[in-house]
Amino acid sequence: MELTEKIRVVAAAVFSSASTDPYATGSSMRALDSLIRSRVAETLAHAAAAVRTQYTDAHQALGHPSRENPFADAEKLRDLEQIKRLSEQLSNLGSLVSALPAPANDRVWQRLRKNRSLLELLIEYDYTLVEHAASLERRVQSADLSDGLKDILAMLDPIKHLLRERSDLLSAVP
């Protein structure tokens, strides 16, 4: 079963369980949110590792300078630099996802705000992050980075946008 399907099954179980204790439901939803975020961070870390592996392979294929060829091809060096930046961006995004905030589990605030709907919305954001991260990881592992680097870099934009929206959502909540 694919990662996104596993998360759908877990999310469906959380949302279908009828609990009489709203705080327990909030706690389980908070745990689900944390689980999904950790999976997204893990997926981004795997993608970053795959990029680093391709970077190492491409760097080794460049070879060592010799008298006949003292300087490496400038275009290949630019590609290597872009691949290295992509790896750093993926690692940074994984760290950002791991450190994403969640609303506090405070019973007073739970009475004043719509905590369940907020957590449902956060889980929806996180699920969308899972889909984007999984497709990014598949793309990184299935192709030579020098060919589709621009496409992969473009795949980072929706993830960054979702992270900003999610942070904005939480900063707007009292």
Extents of the domains making up the chain: 3-63+71-172
Choose the most confident range, by mean pLDDT, from 32-36, 90-94, 138-142: 90-94
Question: For the segment 127-165, what is each residue's pLDDT rounded down to a tens digit?
Answer: 888 888 888 988 888 877 767 788 888 899 999 999 899
Residues in contact with 28: Cβ distance below 8 Å, sequence separation at least 6, in sequence order: 14, 17, 19
Q: Which helix (H) or strand (E) holds 173?
A: none
State if pTM tops 0.85. no
Quickly list H helices, 63-114. Answer: 74-98, 107-112
What local confidence, expressed as pLDDT, does residue 103 receive? 65
Determine contact, residues 156/136, Cβ cutoff 8 Å. Answer: yes
Map residue 79 onto helix, strand or coil.
helix
Q: What is the mean pLDDT of residues 100-126?
A: 69
